[in-house]
Homo-oligomer: A and B are copies of this chain.
Protein backbone atom coordinates (compact mmCIF):
# COMPACT_ATOMS: atom_id res chain seq x y z
CA UNK A 1 0.00 0.00 0.00
CA UNK A 2 1.25 3.44 -0.90
CA UNK A 3 -0.76 6.25 0.66
CA UNK A 4 -0.70 9.71 -0.84
CA UNK A 5 1.22 11.84 1.69
CA UNK A 6 -0.39 15.06 0.51
CA UNK A 7 -3.77 13.76 1.62
CA UNK A 8 -3.17 11.32 4.47
CA UNK A 9 -6.03 9.31 5.98
CA UNK A 10 -7.08 10.24 9.52
CA UNK A 11 -4.51 9.05 12.08
CA UNK A 12 -5.57 7.00 15.13
CA UNK A 13 -5.27 9.81 17.61
CA UNK A 14 -3.92 13.30 17.57
CA UNK A 15 -1.62 12.45 20.46
CA UNK A 16 0.07 9.51 18.82
CA UNK A 17 1.49 11.26 15.75
CA UNK A 18 2.98 13.95 17.98
CA UNK A 19 4.81 11.31 19.96
CA UNK A 20 6.23 9.81 16.77
CA UNK A 21 7.22 13.25 15.48
CA UNK A 22 8.87 14.10 18.80
CA UNK A 23 10.86 10.87 18.72
CA UNK A 24 12.29 11.64 15.29
CA UNK A 25 12.89 15.29 16.24
CA UNK A 26 14.84 14.16 19.26
CA UNK A 27 16.98 11.77 17.21
CA UNK A 28 17.79 14.67 14.91
CA UNK A 29 18.48 17.06 17.79
CA UNK A 30 20.80 14.54 19.44
CA UNK A 31 22.65 14.03 16.16
CA UNK A 32 21.59 10.37 15.84
CA UNK A 33 20.05 11.28 12.55
CA UNK A 34 22.19 13.73 10.61
CA UNK A 35 21.50 16.13 7.77
CA UNK A 36 21.07 14.27 4.48
CA UNK A 37 20.39 10.90 6.12
CA UNK A 38 17.27 9.00 5.18
CA UNK A 39 14.85 8.49 8.04
CA UNK A 40 13.06 5.13 8.48
CA UNK A 41 10.40 4.46 5.85
CA UNK A 42 6.77 5.04 6.72
CA UNK A 43 6.10 1.31 6.62
CA UNK A 44 9.07 0.43 8.82
CA UNK A 45 8.29 3.16 11.34
CA UNK A 46 4.70 1.99 11.45
CA UNK A 47 5.61 -1.57 12.37
CA UNK A 48 8.50 -0.51 14.62
CA UNK A 49 6.30 1.79 16.68
CA UNK A 50 3.12 -0.24 16.41
CA UNK A 51 1.14 2.63 14.95
CA UNK A 52 -0.79 3.00 11.71
CA UNK A 53 0.68 4.18 8.43
CA UNK A 54 -1.63 7.19 8.68
CA UNK A 55 -0.15 8.20 12.01
CA UNK A 56 3.39 8.01 10.72
CA UNK A 57 2.48 10.01 7.61
CA UNK A 58 0.91 12.67 9.81
CA UNK A 59 4.05 12.76 11.98
CA UNK A 60 6.32 13.14 8.95
CA UNK A 61 4.09 15.91 7.63
CA UNK A 62 4.51 17.79 10.90
CA UNK A 63 8.30 17.43 10.71
CA UNK A 64 8.26 18.53 7.10
CA UNK A 65 6.25 21.63 8.06
CA UNK A 66 8.83 22.41 10.70
CA UNK A 67 11.51 22.22 8.03
CA UNK A 68 13.28 19.32 9.73
CA UNK A 69 12.80 16.69 7.02
CA UNK A 70 11.97 16.76 3.32
CA UNK A 71 10.36 14.17 1.03
CA UNK A 72 12.33 13.10 -2.07
CA UNK A 73 10.02 11.61 -4.74
CA UNK A 74 10.11 7.78 -4.88
CA UNK A 75 12.87 7.68 -2.29
CA UNK A 76 11.56 8.63 1.14
CA UNK A 77 12.13 11.30 3.79
CA UNK A 78 15.54 12.85 4.50
CA UNK A 79 16.85 15.01 7.31
CA UNK A 80 17.18 18.60 6.11
CA UNK A 81 20.50 20.32 6.67
CA UNK A 82 20.47 22.84 9.47
CA UNK A 83 21.25 26.16 7.95
CA UNK A 84 24.09 26.68 10.38
CA UNK A 85 25.48 25.41 13.63
CA UNK A 86 24.37 27.28 16.72
CA UNK A 87 26.72 29.89 18.19
CA UNK A 88 28.57 28.81 21.36
CA UNK A 89 27.01 29.31 24.79
CA UNK A 90 27.98 32.02 27.28
CA UNK A 91 30.12 30.95 30.22
CA UNK A 92 28.99 30.97 33.86
CA UNK A 93 28.15 34.46 35.11
CA UNK A 94 30.54 36.20 37.52
CA UNK A 95 28.70 38.86 39.54
CA UNK A 96 30.46 40.62 42.41
CA UNK A 97 29.92 38.82 45.73
CA UNK A 98 28.26 41.73 47.51
CA UNK A 99 24.62 42.41 48.26
CA UNK A 100 23.54 45.49 46.37
CA UNK A 101 20.63 47.86 46.71
CA UNK A 102 18.93 47.35 43.39
CA UNK A 103 19.33 50.70 41.68
CA UNK A 104 17.96 50.60 38.17
CA UNK A 105 16.22 53.54 36.61
CA UNK A 106 13.15 53.44 34.43
CA UNK A 107 15.05 51.28 31.89
CA UNK A 108 12.15 48.92 31.60
CA UNK A 109 9.52 51.54 30.81
CA UNK A 110 10.01 51.31 27.06
CA UNK A 111 10.02 47.53 27.18
CA UNK A 112 6.63 47.47 28.87
CA UNK A 113 5.11 50.18 26.70
CA UNK A 114 6.14 48.25 23.58
CA UNK A 115 4.14 45.18 24.63
CA UNK A 116 0.73 46.37 23.48
CA UNK A 117 2.00 48.09 20.31
CA UNK A 118 1.55 45.78 17.32
CA UNK A 119 3.82 47.97 15.18
CA UNK A 120 6.82 46.89 17.23
CA UNK A 121 8.56 43.56 16.68
CA UNK A 122 8.02 41.76 20.01
CA UNK A 123 11.42 40.38 21.02
CA UNK A 124 11.62 42.43 24.23
CA UNK A 125 9.16 41.34 26.89
CA UNK A 126 8.77 37.60 27.59
CA UNK A 127 5.20 37.42 26.32
CA UNK A 128 3.77 34.38 24.59
CA UNK A 129 1.96 35.13 21.34
CA UNK A 130 -1.82 34.75 21.79
CA UNK A 131 -1.74 32.81 18.50
CA UNK A 132 0.03 30.01 20.34
CA UNK A 133 -2.39 30.03 23.25
CA UNK A 134 -5.86 28.43 23.41
CA UNK A 135 -7.31 31.92 23.26
CA UNK A 136 -10.67 31.15 21.67
CA UNK A 137 -11.31 28.12 23.84
CA UNK A 138 -10.43 29.92 27.07
CA UNK A 139 -12.54 32.92 26.17
CA UNK A 140 -15.47 30.63 25.34
CA UNK A 141 -15.10 28.89 28.70
CA UNK A 142 -14.99 32.23 30.46
CA UNK A 143 -18.08 33.41 28.57
CA UNK A 144 -19.98 30.29 29.46
CA UNK A 145 -18.94 30.44 33.13
CA UNK A 146 -19.86 34.09 33.23
CA UNK A 147 -23.41 33.25 32.18
CA UNK A 148 -23.74 30.47 34.74
CA UNK A 149 -21.74 31.74 37.68
CA UNK A 150 -24.19 34.33 39.02
CA UNK A 151 -23.24 35.69 42.41
CA UNK A 152 -19.97 33.74 42.61
CA UNK A 153 -18.61 35.89 39.81
CA UNK A 154 -19.17 39.22 41.53
CA UNK A 155 -18.46 38.32 45.17
CA UNK A 156 -15.05 38.63 46.81
CA UNK A 157 -13.16 35.34 46.37
CA UNK A 158 -11.35 35.67 49.69
CA UNK A 159 -7.91 34.11 50.30
CA UNK A 160 -6.94 31.30 49.85
CA UNK A 161 -8.99 31.83 46.66
CA UNK A 162 -10.88 29.80 44.05
CA UNK A 163 -11.30 26.22 45.35
CA UNK A 164 -11.60 24.66 41.87
CA UNK A 165 -8.33 26.24 40.77
CA UNK A 166 -6.53 25.14 43.93
CA UNK A 167 -7.74 21.57 43.38
CA UNK A 168 -6.41 21.54 39.82
CA UNK A 169 -3.01 22.92 40.82
CA UNK A 170 -2.78 20.40 43.65
CA UNK A 171 -3.69 17.52 41.31
CA UNK A 172 -0.94 18.52 38.87
CA UNK A 173 1.68 18.88 41.59
CA UNK A 174 2.26 15.11 41.40
CA UNK A 175 3.90 15.72 38.01
CA UNK A 176 6.51 17.91 39.66
CA UNK A 177 7.37 15.47 42.43
CA UNK A 178 5.14 17.07 45.09
CA UNK A 179 1.83 16.04 46.52
CA UNK A 180 0.20 19.33 47.41
CA UNK A 181 -3.34 19.49 48.70
CA UNK A 182 -5.65 22.31 47.72
CA UNK A 183 -5.35 23.64 51.29
CA UNK A 184 -1.63 24.25 50.70
CA UNK A 185 -2.33 26.74 47.93
CA UNK A 186 -3.20 30.45 47.79
CA UNK A 187 -4.25 31.90 44.43
CA UNK A 188 -2.71 35.17 43.27
CA UNK A 189 -2.96 37.86 40.59
CA UNK A 190 -0.31 36.28 38.39
CA UNK A 191 3.10 34.92 39.32
CA UNK A 192 4.59 38.28 40.29
CA UNK A 193 2.10 38.74 43.10
CA UNK A 194 3.03 35.28 44.36
CA UNK A 195 6.71 36.24 44.43
CA UNK A 196 6.00 39.56 46.13
CA UNK A 197 3.97 37.84 48.84
CA UNK A 198 6.75 35.32 49.43
CA UNK A 199 9.44 37.98 49.62
CA UNK A 200 7.38 39.92 52.14
CA UNK A 201 6.58 36.77 54.13
CA UNK A 202 10.22 35.79 54.65
CA UNK A 203 12.16 39.06 54.63
CA UNK A 204 11.93 42.75 55.40
CA UNK A 205 13.55 46.00 54.31
CA UNK A 206 17.35 45.85 54.41
CA UNK A 207 17.39 42.05 54.20
CA UNK A 208 19.41 40.22 51.58
CA UNK A 209 17.88 37.93 48.95
CA UNK A 210 20.32 35.68 47.07
CA UNK A 211 19.45 34.85 43.49
CA UNK A 212 20.74 33.73 40.11
CA UNK A 213 22.61 36.20 37.97
CA UNK A 214 21.33 37.32 35.51
CA UNK A 215 17.78 37.52 36.93
CA UNK A 216 14.45 38.60 35.46
CA UNK A 217 14.25 42.36 36.00
CA UNK A 218 10.72 42.24 37.42
CA UNK A 219 12.07 40.28 40.37
CA UNK A 220 14.99 42.67 40.89
CA UNK A 221 12.65 45.65 40.72
CA UNK A 222 10.31 44.02 43.17
CA UNK A 223 13.19 43.46 45.58
CA UNK A 224 14.23 47.08 45.16
CA UNK A 225 10.74 48.42 45.75
CA UNK A 226 10.53 46.41 48.98
CA UNK A 227 13.78 47.97 50.21
CA UNK A 228 15.57 44.62 50.16
CA UNK A 229 19.03 43.87 48.77
CA UNK A 230 19.92 41.44 45.99
CA UNK A 231 22.95 39.16 46.24
CA UNK A 232 23.66 37.96 42.71
CA UNK A 233 25.21 34.51 42.45
CA UNK A 234 27.26 33.04 39.59
CA UNK A 235 25.00 30.89 37.45
CA UNK A 236 25.59 28.43 34.65
CA UNK A 237 23.45 28.65 31.50
CA UNK A 238 22.64 24.92 31.75
CA UNK A 239 22.64 24.03 35.46
CA UNK A 240 21.75 27.30 37.13
CA UNK A 241 23.04 28.78 40.34
CA UNK A 242 26.51 27.78 41.60
CA UNK A 243 25.85 25.87 44.82
CA UNK A 244 29.44 26.10 46.08
CA UNK A 245 29.32 29.87 45.95
CA UNK A 246 25.92 29.91 47.65
CA UNK A 247 27.25 27.64 50.41
CA UNK A 248 30.20 29.96 50.96
CA UNK A 249 28.04 33.08 51.03
CA UNK A 250 25.64 31.52 53.52
CA UNK A 251 28.61 31.26 55.90
CA UNK A 252 29.99 34.65 55.03
CA UNK A 253 26.87 36.82 55.38
CA UNK A 254 23.28 36.89 56.57
CA UNK A 255 20.99 35.81 53.74
CA UNK A 256 17.27 35.99 54.47
CA UNK A 257 16.09 33.95 51.52
CA UNK A 258 17.18 32.46 48.22
CA UNK A 259 15.01 33.12 45.19
CA UNK A 260 15.49 30.73 42.29
CA UNK A 261 13.79 30.09 38.97
CA UNK A 262 14.87 26.46 39.05
CA UNK A 263 13.38 25.38 35.70
CA UNK A 264 14.13 27.26 32.47
CA UNK A 265 15.21 30.38 34.23
CA UNK A 266 14.55 33.73 32.61
CA UNK A 267 16.84 34.94 30.98
CA UNK A 268 19.49 32.18 31.30
CA UNK A 269 17.30 29.23 30.36
CA UNK A 270 19.10 27.05 32.89
CA UNK A 271 17.35 24.02 34.37
CA UNK A 272 18.81 22.83 37.65
CA UNK A 273 19.47 19.06 37.59
CA UNK A 274 17.61 16.97 40.17
CA UNK A 275 20.72 16.37 42.27
CA UNK A 276 21.35 20.12 42.39
CA UNK A 277 17.77 20.71 43.53
CA UNK A 278 18.24 18.13 46.27
CA UNK A 279 21.54 19.67 47.34
CA UNK A 280 20.04 23.14 47.31
CA UNK A 281 17.15 22.21 49.62
CA UNK A 282 19.49 20.33 51.96
CA UNK A 283 21.93 23.21 52.05
CA UNK A 284 19.16 25.68 52.87
CA UNK A 285 17.58 23.33 55.42
CA UNK A 286 20.90 23.21 57.31
CA UNK A 287 21.15 26.99 57.20
CA UNK A 288 17.41 27.37 57.93
CA UNK A 289 17.04 29.78 55.04
CA UNK A 290 13.81 29.77 53.01
CA UNK A 291 13.82 29.15 49.25
CA UNK A 292 11.36 31.06 47.07
CA UNK A 293 11.05 28.79 44.04
CA UNK A 294 9.55 30.35 40.93
CA UNK A 295 8.37 27.56 38.62
CA UNK A 296 6.59 29.72 36.06
CA UNK A 297 8.38 28.04 33.10
CA UNK A 298 8.38 24.48 34.53
CA UNK A 299 5.69 23.16 32.15
CA UNK A 300 7.67 24.31 29.11
CA UNK A 301 10.43 21.72 28.59
CA UNK A 302 11.00 21.49 24.82
CA UNK A 303 11.54 17.72 24.99
CA UNK A 304 11.35 14.96 27.52
CA UNK A 305 9.71 14.81 30.92
CA UNK A 306 8.50 17.76 32.94
CA UNK A 307 11.30 18.65 35.40
CA UNK A 308 10.71 18.35 39.12
CA UNK A 309 10.72 21.28 41.51
CA UNK A 310 13.13 21.70 44.43
CA UNK A 311 10.07 21.65 46.68
CA UNK A 312 9.95 17.88 45.99
CA UNK A 313 12.98 17.50 48.29
CA UNK A 314 11.77 19.93 50.97
CA UNK A 315 11.46 18.26 54.36
CA UNK A 316 11.50 21.40 56.55
CA UNK A 317 8.67 23.43 55.04
CA UNK A 318 11.21 25.98 53.85
CA UNK A 319 10.38 26.05 50.15
CA UNK A 320 7.72 28.54 49.00
CA UNK A 321 6.67 27.37 45.53
CA UNK A 322 5.19 29.86 43.04
CA UNK A 323 3.53 29.22 39.68
CA UNK A 324 1.35 30.87 37.08
CA UNK A 325 -0.53 30.25 33.85
CA UNK A 326 0.77 33.42 32.20
CA UNK A 327 3.31 31.63 30.00
CA UNK A 328 1.10 28.66 29.06
CA UNK A 329 -2.51 29.89 28.89
CA UNK A 330 -3.38 33.57 29.25
CA UNK A 331 -1.19 36.34 30.69
CA UNK A 332 -4.20 38.67 30.62
CA UNK A 333 -6.20 36.42 32.93
CA UNK A 334 -3.64 37.07 35.71
CA UNK A 335 -3.89 33.64 37.28
CA UNK A 336 -1.05 32.55 39.53
CA UNK A 337 -0.65 30.71 42.79
CA UNK A 338 1.70 30.04 45.66
CA UNK A 339 2.16 27.02 47.93
CA UNK A 340 3.95 28.75 50.83
CA UNK A 341 4.33 25.65 53.00
CA UNK A 342 3.04 25.28 56.57
CA UNK A 343 5.44 27.82 58.12
CA UNK A 344 4.42 30.70 55.90
CA UNK A 345 0.85 29.84 54.80
CA UNK A 346 -0.97 32.11 57.27
CA UNK A 347 1.39 35.00 56.65
CA UNK A 348 1.04 34.74 52.88
CA UNK A 349 -2.76 34.58 53.11
CA UNK A 350 -2.74 37.65 55.32
CA UNK A 351 -0.42 39.57 52.99
CA UNK A 352 -2.56 38.60 50.02
CA UNK A 353 -5.57 40.13 51.77
CA UNK A 354 -3.75 43.36 52.60
CA UNK A 355 -2.26 43.69 49.09
CA UNK A 356 -5.17 43.06 46.73
CA UNK A 357 -7.83 41.44 49.01
CA UNK A 358 -8.67 38.83 46.37
CA UNK A 359 -8.03 38.05 42.72
CA UNK A 360 -10.66 38.36 39.99
CA UNK A 361 -12.99 35.35 40.33
CA UNK A 362 -13.99 34.45 36.78
CA UNK A 363 -10.52 34.17 35.20
CA UNK A 364 -9.54 31.76 37.98
CA UNK A 365 -12.68 29.69 37.40
CA UNK A 366 -12.01 29.63 33.66
CA UNK A 367 -8.42 28.43 34.08
CA UNK A 368 -9.60 25.75 36.54
CA UNK A 369 -12.18 24.56 34.01
CA UNK A 370 -9.57 24.48 31.23
CA UNK A 371 -7.20 22.49 33.44
CA UNK A 372 -9.96 20.02 34.23
CA UNK A 373 -11.68 19.58 30.88
CA UNK A 374 -10.00 21.78 28.28
CA UNK A 375 -7.10 19.61 27.17
CA UNK A 376 -4.29 21.41 28.99
CA UNK A 377 -1.84 18.52 28.56
CA UNK A 378 -2.44 18.30 24.85
CA UNK A 379 -2.10 22.07 24.48
CA UNK A 380 1.15 22.19 26.45
CA UNK A 381 2.64 19.33 24.45
CA UNK A 382 2.17 21.31 21.26
CA UNK A 383 3.30 24.55 22.88
CA UNK A 384 6.54 22.98 24.17
CA UNK A 385 7.49 21.73 20.73
CA UNK A 386 6.56 25.09 19.18
CA UNK A 387 8.61 27.11 21.64
CA UNK A 388 11.48 24.67 21.11
CA UNK A 389 11.31 25.19 17.39
CA UNK A 390 11.06 28.99 17.69
CA UNK A 391 14.05 29.04 20.04
CA UNK A 392 16.03 26.96 17.54
CA UNK A 393 15.07 29.16 14.64
CA UNK A 394 16.12 32.32 16.44
CA UNK A 395 19.34 30.67 17.60
CA UNK A 396 20.19 29.80 14.02
CA UNK A 397 19.33 33.26 12.77
CA UNK A 398 21.57 34.79 15.43
CA UNK A 399 24.37 32.51 14.31
CA UNK A 400 23.83 33.70 10.77
CA UNK A 401 23.39 37.44 11.29
CA UNK A 402 25.14 38.49 14.51
CA UNK A 403 28.79 39.59 14.65
CA UNK A 404 31.33 36.83 15.01
CA UNK A 405 32.18 36.18 18.65
CA UNK A 406 28.48 36.21 19.64
CA UNK A 407 27.45 33.55 22.16
CA UNK A 408 23.92 32.39 22.86
CA UNK A 409 22.27 30.04 25.37
CA UNK A 410 20.70 26.71 24.35
CA UNK A 411 17.74 26.51 26.75
CA UNK A 412 15.97 23.17 27.05
CA UNK A 413 12.69 24.92 27.88
CA UNK A 414 10.91 28.26 27.96
CA UNK A 415 11.18 30.79 25.16
CA UNK A 416 13.92 33.32 25.85
CA UNK A 417 17.51 33.50 24.64
CA UNK A 418 20.37 35.19 26.48
CA UNK A 419 22.79 36.57 23.92
CA UNK A 420 26.35 37.65 24.66
CA UNK A 421 27.67 40.06 22.05
CA UNK A 422 31.32 41.03 21.63
CA UNK A 423 32.56 43.03 24.64
CA UNK A 424 32.49 46.43 22.99
CA UNK A 425 28.83 46.27 21.94
CA UNK A 426 26.69 48.42 24.23
CA UNK A 427 23.27 46.83 24.57
CA UNK A 428 21.60 50.00 25.86
CA UNK A 429 22.65 51.74 22.67
CA UNK A 430 21.52 48.67 20.76
CA UNK A 431 18.09 48.96 22.42
CA UNK A 432 17.89 52.61 21.32
CA UNK A 433 18.93 51.80 17.77
CA UNK A 434 16.58 48.82 17.59
CA UNK A 435 13.63 50.84 18.83
CA UNK A 436 14.19 53.27 15.96
CA UNK A 437 13.70 50.24 13.71
CA UNK A 438 10.59 49.29 15.75
CA UNK A 439 12.24 46.27 17.30
CA UNK A 440 11.90 45.72 21.04
CA UNK A 441 14.74 43.93 22.85
CA UNK A 442 15.67 43.65 26.53
CA UNK A 443 19.17 45.05 27.24
CA UNK A 444 21.44 43.07 29.58
CA UNK A 445 21.87 45.69 32.33
CA UNK A 446 18.19 45.25 33.23
CA UNK A 447 19.01 41.77 34.50
CA UNK A 448 21.49 42.79 37.18
CA UNK A 449 21.81 45.52 39.75
CA UNK A 450 25.57 45.76 39.29
CA UNK A 451 25.70 47.54 35.94
CA UNK A 452 26.77 44.22 34.40
CA UNK A 453 25.86 42.51 31.16
CA UNK A 454 26.34 45.69 29.14
CA UNK A 455 27.09 43.53 26.07
CA UNK A 456 24.18 41.10 26.59
CA UNK A 457 20.59 41.16 25.35
CA UNK A 458 17.65 38.91 26.07
CA UNK A 459 15.54 38.01 23.05
CA UNK A 460 12.06 36.56 23.38
CA UNK A 461 11.01 33.74 21.05
CA UNK A 462 7.41 33.82 22.25
CA UNK A 463 6.06 34.75 18.83
CA UNK A 464 5.90 32.49 15.76
CA UNK A 465 8.94 32.58 13.55
CA UNK A 466 8.37 34.64 10.43
CA UNK A 467 10.26 36.49 7.72
CA UNK A 468 9.64 39.64 9.78
CA UNK A 469 11.36 38.04 12.78
CA UNK A 470 14.25 36.85 10.62
CA UNK A 471 14.60 40.35 9.22
CA UNK A 472 14.52 41.75 12.75
CA UNK A 473 17.42 39.54 13.79
CA UNK A 474 19.31 40.56 10.65
CA UNK A 475 18.74 44.24 11.54
CA UNK A 476 19.90 43.68 15.11
CA UNK A 477 23.03 41.92 13.88
CA UNK A 478 23.76 44.79 11.52
CA UNK A 479 23.24 47.39 14.24
CA UNK A 480 25.60 45.51 16.56
CA UNK A 481 28.18 45.23 13.77
CA UNK A 482 27.88 48.97 13.11
CA UNK A 483 28.74 49.65 16.76
CA UNK A 484 31.80 47.41 16.45
CA UNK A 485 32.87 49.06 13.20
CA UNK A 486 32.47 52.61 14.50
CA UNK A 487 34.45 51.73 17.64
CA UNK A 488 37.16 50.10 15.55
CA UNK A 489 37.37 53.24 13.41
CA UNK A 490 37.49 55.45 16.51
CA UNK A 491 40.21 53.22 17.96
CA UNK A 492 42.21 53.33 14.70
CA UNK A 493 41.72 57.11 14.56
CA UNK A 494 42.95 57.49 18.13
CA UNK A 495 45.94 55.23 17.43
CA UNK A 496 46.78 57.23 14.29
CA UNK A 497 46.48 60.57 16.12
Identify the A interface with B (CB < 8 A). Answer: 106, 108-109, 112-113, 115-116, 125, 127, 130-131, 133, 135-136, 138-140, 142-144, 146-147, 149-159, 189-190, 192-193, 196, 200, 204-205, 218, 221-222, 224-225, 227, 326, 329-334, 346, 350-351, 353-363
- Which A-B residue pairs are the 8 nearest by beta carbons? A154-B330, A130-B151, A332-B361, A143-B146, A360-B360, A205-B205, A143-B143, A189-B356
- Decide if A147 touches B140 in the complex (CB within 8 Å): yes
Which partner residue on chain B sits nearest A205 by CB separation?
B205
How many copies of this chain are found per oligomer? Answer: 2
- Decide if B133 touches A154 in the complex (CB within 8 Å): yes
- Decide if A333 touches B360 in the complex (CB within 8 Å): yes
What's the Cα separation between A192 and B353 when bound, in Å? 9
A-B contact pairs, 6 of them (CB 8 A): A135-B151, A154-B331, A224-B354, A331-B357, A332-B360, A334-B357
- Decide if A350 touches B106 in the complex (CB within 8 Å): yes
Q: Which residues of B contact A138 (CB under 8 A)?
A: 153-154
Which partner residue on chain B sits nearest A135 by CB separation?
B154
| With A189-B360, A190-B356, A204-B227 as contacts: A330 and B153 at CB distance below 8 Å | yes
What's the Cα separation between A79 and B218 when bound, in Å? 63
What's the Cα separation between A189 and B326 when bound, in Å? 16
What's the Cα separation between A357 and B333 when bound, in Å? 12
- Decide if B154 touches A354 in the complex (CB within 8 Å): no
What's the Cα separation between A355 and B330 when bound, in Å? 18
What's the Cα separation between A75 and B482 when bound, in Å? 95
What's the Cα separation between A151 and B333 when bound, in Å? 11
Across the interface, A157 reaches (CB within 8 A) one of B116, B133, B140, namely B116
Please classify the interface of chain A as helix (H, G, I), strand (E, B), loop, or mixed, using the class held by over half of its residues. helix
| With A146-B143, A225-B200, A225-B351 as contacts: A156 and B218 at CB distance below 8 Å | no
What's the Cα separation between A38 and B152 when bound, in Å? 45
Q: Which residues of B contact A156 (CB under 8 A)?
A: 115-116, 125, 127, 326, 331-332
Q: Which residues of B contact A351 (CB under 8 A)?
A: 225
- Decide if A334 touches B353 in the complex (CB within 8 Å): no
Distance (whole angstroms) from the CB of A9 to the closest CB of chain B:
33
Distance (whole angstroms) from the CB of A165 to the closest CB of chain B:
13
Which partner residue on chain B sits nearest A151 by CB separation?
B130
- Decide if B332 touches A115 in the complex (CB within 8 Å): no
Q: Which residues of B contact A109 (CB under 8 A)?
A: 346, 350
Q: Which residues of B contact A130 (CB under 8 A)?
A: 150-151, 154-155
Q: Which residues of B contact A360 (CB under 8 A)?
A: 189, 332-334, 359-360, 363
- Decide if A193 touches B355 in the complex (CB within 8 Å): yes
- Decide if B152 touches A332 in the complex (CB within 8 Å): yes
Across the interface, A334 reaches (CB within 8 A) one of B135, B330, B359, namely B359
- Decide if B135 touches A139 in the complex (CB within 8 Å): no
What's the Cα separation between A127 and B329 when bound, in Å? 31
Q: Which residues of B contact A358 (CB under 8 A)?
A: 190, 331-332, 334
Distance (whole angstroms) from the CB of A155 to the closest CB of chain B:
5
- Decide if B221 touches A356 in the complex (CB within 8 Å): no
Which partner residue on chain B sits nearest A108 by CB separation?
B353
Which partner residue on chain B sits nearest A363 by CB separation?
B360
- Decide if A332 touches B190 in the complex (CB within 8 Å): no
Q: Of residues A131, A225, A361, which shows the largest number of chain B Cβ atoms within 10 Å of its Cβ?
A: A225
What's the Cα separation between A235 and B350 when bound, in Å? 28
Q: Which residues of B contact A362 (CB under 8 A)?
A: 142, 332-333, 362-363
Across the interface, A136 reaches (CB within 8 A) one of B106, B144, B150, B357, namely B150
Across the interface, A112 reaches (CB within 8 A) one of B154, B159, B334, namely B159
Known A109-B346, A130-B151, A332-B361; further 7 A-B contacts with Cβ < 8 A:
A116-B155, A139-B146, A153-B333, A154-B329, A196-B354, A225-B354, A362-B363
What's the Cα separation between A115 and B154 when bound, in Å? 13
- Decide if A116 touches B158 in the complex (CB within 8 Å): yes
What's the Cα separation between A139 and B145 when bound, in Å? 9
- Decide if A192 touches B127 in the complex (CB within 8 Å): no
What's the Cα separation between A362 and B131 when bound, in Å? 18
